[in-house]
Amino acid sequence: MPNFSIIINLKAGSGAAAQAWPLLKTELDHQRIDYTPYFTEYSGHAIELAKKIGDTADDDFIVVIVVGGDGTVNQVLNGLEQSAHPETPIAYFPAGSGNDFARSLQLTKNAPTFVENLQKIHRSTSLNVFKIKLGDRADQAYQQQKYLINNFGVGFDAHVVHMTEHSPLKAKLNRLHLGKFAYVINLIAVFKDQQTYDLKIIGEQVEEFKQAYLVTLTNIPYFGGGVNIMPTADPHLHDLNLVVIEKPSLPKLLQLFIRILTTGSHLKDPAVHVFKGDQLKYEITPKQFGQMDGEDMGAHQFIVEASNASHPFWI
Ligand SMILES: Nc1ncnc2c1ncn2[C@@H]1O[C@H](COP(=O)(O)OP(=O)(O)OP(=O)(O)O)[C@@H](O)[C@H]1O
């Protein structure tokens, strides 16, 4: 059995992780499984914790268990990838708000089942993740390279994430365990406010969209806590999926959103385009909000180079 290090974000899921962790701890102790817990103390801390664990994994076979949401898994992946042992596998006990990664892989939230699975697994499974190089056309200092598990969105979805993160309503509703309502309220506000922007996809030929509204690169079917934006996406496949929605008239846009939320037949709509491949390059102007695995990135004129990569998961 590997040595388990556990990174726990008690802030995840507006209280869900704080409830889930004691249940998991009880089950691990009951099954006499050794582990070392690390609690995140501030935003971004999971990156540093994972890097440290990966750097010191020399003589041991370590598996990092994540207790938190999609954002915490993203940080652990990025920390491990920067470490001396990027091959360190990740196990995941979902306890976030959206849990889109867990939903896509049908991972259990039940502590006894999770611990039972942990003991049964003998080998990691390699899953697709995306490696993204980012620049900002207007800001030379903005250069980033990141890994992601779920999606990188620019425009509509990222605007909703930004509004929700910065909404005074969220803190209040979170205290009442009604955080999802803040998301829905902001979704309606952004539906009205989101402006269109330019998207240039750079391949053998350049393809331009002048009325882009949502541009989401996705590794999994879902974003925004269960919205099925790309039903055929699957992290077991090594496929980039770039979903582009151009803004049609308001009634058509409303219809399109209903199709996304109900039948998933939106991919047939003439306003929706999907680009696939092993590498995609694209540019977005003017400044738009970005989100990566549900985390607000602020507004940028994004220059993007995306490619497939893989990471071992203990699932
Ligand atoms: N001690 C802490 N105090 C404040 N923020 C923290 C702390 N630890 C982690 N965070 C931040 O909490 C944020 C949310 O984490 P996470 O994405 O895992 O949960 P979530 O948003 O509830 O779930 P999901 O992404 O699945 O919707 C992350 O940005 C992370 O950096």
Distance of alpha carbon 269 from alpha carbon 259, whole angstroms: 9
Distance of alpha carbon 40 from alpha carbon 29, whole angstroms: 21
User: Which letter, b or e, does each residue of 147-185 get, where b requires 16 or more Cβ atoms within 10 Å of its Cβ?
Assistant: bbbbbbbbbbbbbbbbbbeebebbeebbeeeebeebbeb
Domain with CATH 3.40.50.10330 in the chain: 3-123
72, 74, 165, best to mutate for ligand 1 pocket (most atoms within 8 Å of CB) = 72
Residue 72 CA to ligand 1 centre (angstroms)? 6
For residue 99, the ligand 1 atom closest to its alpha carbon is 26
ipTM: 0.97
Domain with CATH 2.60.200.40 in the chain: 129-313
Do residues 130 and 293 touch, judged by C-beta distance below 8 A?
no
Which residues touch 29 (CB under 8 Å, ≥6 apart)? none
42, 43, 167, 173, best to mutate for ligand 1 pocket (most atoms within 8 Å of CB) = 43
Identify which of 60, 51, 44, 49 has the alpha carbon closest to the alpha carbon of residue 80. 51
Distance of alpha carbon 90 from alpha carbon 79, whole angstroms: 11
Classify 264 as helix, strand or coil: coil
Helix extents (H) in 207-249: none
Distance of alpha carbon 21 from alpha carbon 294, whole angstroms: 22
pLDDT at residue 167, as a whole number: 73
For residue 44, the ligand 1 atom closest to its alpha carbon is 31
CATH code for 3-123?
A: 3.40.50.10330
For residue 225, the ligand 1 atom closest to its alpha carbon is 27
- What angle do the packed helices 179-193 and 156-165 form, to 10 degrees? 130
Residue 12 CA to ligand 1 centre (angstroms)? 5
Structural fold of domain 129-313: Tumour Suppressor Smad4 (2.60.200)
Do residues 196 and 213 touch, judged by C-beta distance below 8 A?
yes
Cis bond upstream, residue 22 (ω within 30): no
Helix extents (H) in 154-297: 156-165, 168-175, 179-193, 250-261
Pocket of ligand 1 (CB under 6 A): 9, 11-13, 40-45, 68-72, 96-99, 294-295
**Can you give the pLDDT of all 315 residues of the chain as single tens digits?**
899 999 999 999 988 999 999 999 999 999 999 999 999 999 999 999 999 999 998 778 999 999 999 999 999 999 999 999 999 999 999 999 889 999 999 999 999 999 999 999 999 999 999 999 999 999 999 999 999 999 999 999 999 999 888 877 666 666 666 556 666 777 788 888 899 999 999 988 899 999 999 999 999 999 988 999 999 999 999 999 999 999 988 899 889 989 998 888 999 999 999 999 899 999 999 999 999 999 999 999 999 999 999 999 999
Structure tokens at 232: 């055929």
Distance of alpha carbon 94 from alpha carbon 119, whole angstroms: 18
Distance of alpha carbon 10 from alpha carbon 312, whole angstroms: 24
